[in-house]
Amino acid sequence: MMTLKSIVRSLALSLVLVGAAGATAQTSADVVMQGPGGQVTAFDVEAAVQQFPLASRKSVLARPEQVQRIAEDVYVRRTLAQEAEQAGLDKDPQVQSLIRLARERILSDARLYEVGKAGWPNEAALEAFAREQYKAQPERFTAKERVQARHILVAAKEGTEASRAEAKGKAQELLLQVRNGASFEALATQHSADQATASRGGDLGLFELGTMVPTFEAALKDMTTAGQLSDVVETQFGYHIIRFEQRLPAGVRPFEEVKTDLMRQVRDKHHREAQQAGIAKIQSTAVGNNQAVEAMNKKYGAP
């Protein structure tokens, strides 16, 4: 059961989040949904998707049913926020404080990102730092035999035999389409249940053998030709169509292969250091009130 405090917190967050989106609705593009509670625009949906992992955002927005679900959620929150205001909940001091804190958190996160970004070295310096690390620690970049593949995952909607049979049938239909010349990448983007790879056309990247489930790797074991397709493969996740891309032998990974990751690591390090310096600078300007702290300790401390 939700407590009054959790309800107030939920309402406050709804007000600040959907209220901020509503403020930009007048200048946004297409209206995705509308009703008595107002409009939900494409801009609103894109903003709401920021809560998803970065790797899956594109594939989520590429699916009409996902866009519909997100738009419905935003619309419900927007309507509830309006009802909260009509009921005078926005006048409650605790709600007002929660709204202010939520707003400040969003704005401070945006500002802190910019503070960190100001500390990024330029691209030439990043690459130079990355090369230094690559030369200094070659053991970090040794790899076992690796395989690159793409897949389309069809997951059963329920854990029943009927739903699994339906999923398997859909996977077989998709496999037939690929064999008849349909784009594997386009079908993966549209149909794959693996949202982390769907936006990349099902690309799993390079992975060491032993990191995937046994039945999945067994299907790849004897593949040697780029573009080679598996039959429908069953795992605990559902039914897969796998396309072999390449196989790389064990050894030290070339710099060009690891350069992007190394440069990102260096950039992230400078980003964090710049943020920490910015936070420390702000903290140095604050003066605490020990009497107020002690008063709160007495008020909320154990009797």
Same domain as 112, residue 208:
no
Please, what's the b/e burial string for 51-88 (b: 16 or more CB within 10 A of its CB; e: otherwise)?
ebeeebbebbbeeeebbeebbeebbebbbbbbebeeee
287 lies in some domain: no
For residue 163, give the CATH number of its domain: 3.10.50.40
126 lies in some domain: no
Q: 216-270 pLDDT, tens per residue?
A: 999 999 899 999 999 999 999 999 999 999 999 999 999 999 999 999 999 999 9
pLDDT value of residue 209: 85
Same domain as 143, residue 242:
yes
Q: How many CA atoms lie within 13 A of 19 on its CB side?
A: 18
Same domain as 58, residue 144:
no
User: What integer is the mean pLDDT of 112-125?
Assistant: 95
Counting the structural domains of the chain, the total is: 2
Same domain as 113, residue 42:
yes
164 lies in some domain: yes
Same domain as 191, residue 91:
no
Cα gap 207→25, rounded to integer Å? 43
* Greatest Cα pair distance in the chain: 77
Same domain as 148, residue 113:
no
Confidence check: pLDDT of 32 > 70: yes
50 lies in some domain: yes
Confidence check: pLDDT of 89 > 90: yes
Domain extent, residue 158, equals 138-252
